[in-house]
Amino acid sequence: MWPFRYRVAEPLRERLDSLAEHLPQENPVLVAAVGVYRDLDQAAYQLGLLPRDESLATRISWWPLVSVLGTFSAGKSTFINEYLDRDLQLTGNQAVDEKFTVICYSGDPVPRTLPGMALNADPRFPLFEISREIERVSGGEGRRIDSYLQLKTCDSERIRGKILIDSPGFDADDQRSSTLRITSHIIDLSDLVLVLFDARHPEPGAMQDTLEHLVGRTVSHPDANKFLYVLNQIDTAAQEDNPEQVVGAWQRALANKGLTAGRFYSIYAERAAVPIEDPNRRERFKSKRDADLAAIRARMEEVGVERAYRILGNLQTQVRQLHETVVPALQRHLGRWRRTTLAIDGGLVLLLAAAISGLGWAAWDRAWFQLQDVMNQPVAIGVTTLVVLLAIHLWSRRIAARWVMARIPAREGPGEMDLRAAFRKSTRLPYSALYPAVAGWTRGLRRRLDGILRAAGTQIQRLNDQYADPSGQRQAAAVETTEAAWTKEVEGAHSQETQFGS
């Protein structure tokens, strides 16, 4: 569909090819989406918003992602082991692991633990190139990626087709900025976030760090419905005279951080539970636990569908924000560049006039005639004057561009696109400072982006047909025609644009 394609770095091409090869096995619905992300990359390259060794496709998770966050000893590892029906994670009353553990499926019955570099270098995983994010907030820490991450494999069928992340706790008074950066990155990528609390210490003081770093920041999250708040090890409250007070104190602590709505659960691990002597209370606790645990697991099983919609929705968001946020921001910065350039030009003209006035007209006349004698031709003097003025203008536009660019955020817009690089491209010759325009923002490009937007909408409709079809007869056809649908939609837009050129 592209009149010409920008060449990309070979390692990036290989990564995207590898991603496209693996998707048919894991999530065939999204196979064609890789190609469309490549088309969106071409638009970003044309605008100068993305380096050619990067891709928007590597900035999202292509596999459904469930993250488990919470305090130390909140039972995160026990919850994960019970869900997987495997003793994969170490458990105990004290912190047993200070790394983020990414768990994925493997047909090998022997579990394996791989270093963090396995995640950092593989675009199929959600923490691809996370070392760059760590380096931004903690210089030098990006090289110590193995100290923050590890990958574990498991043959549990429950993890097939999805990724599970177990996080370190948040009880420390002084959390490392790199750990918090990884946590924020995981929260943004996750399809479902389980925030676990310890029912043995539900008072606000013990939960302060978790409340501040997790709950306080999720209240205003644009995707707040993906957060589930879980009071774990609630069996320990069965010994209380009024166990409802434990739950009440926990919910009040959440409400104090602004969380007045959301899904709240109370569970415990049956094999690690404290014996409950009273049969009536035991049955009541077990019934509540079974219902809440079933609801949590049902949400965990739905993340595959949510991920497909999230990827397509992200594609639509990228295109819309290019139209509505990124390009208008560039146009504003270019307008400031124009005004600054004209101001510098005007200031230099005034300085020149002041210098001439200061010499006096008699001195200026003598200098003029001497210059005529040297140049021998008035036309040559005029040409020289134009060259000098042009040099002044080129110097002015360069200084103005540097001044404006220093005030542009390093990253802005969808996928943290490089607005400075796009501005730099738009202020180079032959682009004019008197009539500035966003480099590459042509009518043809806008039509191609509209084609991508329509293709994403069509694919979402196909997903609706697939998952809402009671008989299931359209499911195979929807998967088989996915790539053809993308191609038809996007190339259809391209055929309309050819009459306008690129």
pLDDT on residue 414: 40
Point out the least confidently predicted range of 129-143, 153-167, 198-212, 433-447.
198-212
Angstrom distances, CA of residue 413 to CA of 49, 51, 60, 190: 10, 15, 15, 20
pLDDT on residue 438: 94
Average pLDDT over residues 63-88: 85
Q: How many Cβ atoms sit within 10 Å of the Cβ of residue 199? A: 26
pLDDT on residue 286: 85
**212-243 tens-digit pLDDT:** 666 766 666 667 788 888 888 888 777 766 66
pLDDT reading at 402 higher than 90: yes
Give the three-class secondary structure for 6: coil
pLDDT on residue 159: 87
pLDDT band at 294 (very low <50, low <70, confident <90, very high): very high
- Percent of the chain, pLDDT > 90? 16
pTM above the 0.85 mark? Answer: no
pLDDT on residue 106: 86
Please give the residue that has the higher pLDDT: either 48 or 213. 48
Point out the least confidently predicted range of 83-87, 152-156, 177-181, 336-340.
177-181
pLDDT on residue 46: 93
Q: Which structural domains are found in the chain, ordered by start?
A: 10-56+313-317+444-500 (no CATH), 65-301 (3.40.50.300), 328-441 (no CATH)
Tell whether the torsion through CA atoms of 305, 311, 315 and 317 is positive or negative. positive
pLDDT on residue 173: 45
**DSSP result, 156-173:** -GGGTT-EEEE------S
Please give the residue that has the higher pLDDT: either 480 or 317. 317
Considering 127-141, 206-220, 363-377, the range whose residues carry the highest mean pLDDT is: 127-141
Point out the least confidently predicted range of 123-132, 145-154, 197-206.
197-206
pLDDT on residue 501: 35
pLDDT on residue 162: 86
pLDDT band at 27 (very low <50, low <70, confident <90, very high): low
pLDDT reading at 92 higher than 50: yes
pLDDT band at 93 (very low <50, low <70, confident <90, very high): low
Using the 8-state DSSP alphabet, how is residue 469 labeled?
-
pLDDT on residue 500: 30
pLDDT reading at 401 higher than 90: yes
- Percent of the chain, pLDDT > 70? 72
**477-495 tens-digit pLDDT:** 444 444 454 455 445 544 4
**DSSP result, 76-102:** HHHHHHHHHTS--S---SS----SEEE
Three-state SS for 10-29 is HHHHHHHHHHHHHHHHHCHH
- The mean pLDDT of the chain is 77
Point out the least confidently predicted range of 140-144, 152-156, 293-297, 452-456.
140-144
Among candidates 171, 296, 282, 294, which has minimal Cα distance to 237?
Answer: 282
pLDDT band at 332 (very low <50, low <70, confident <90, very high): very high
Point out the least confidently predicted range of 155-169, 269-283, 474-488.
474-488
**What is the rounded CA–CA span in Å between residue 78 and residue 63?**
23
Average pLDDT over residues 439-446: 93
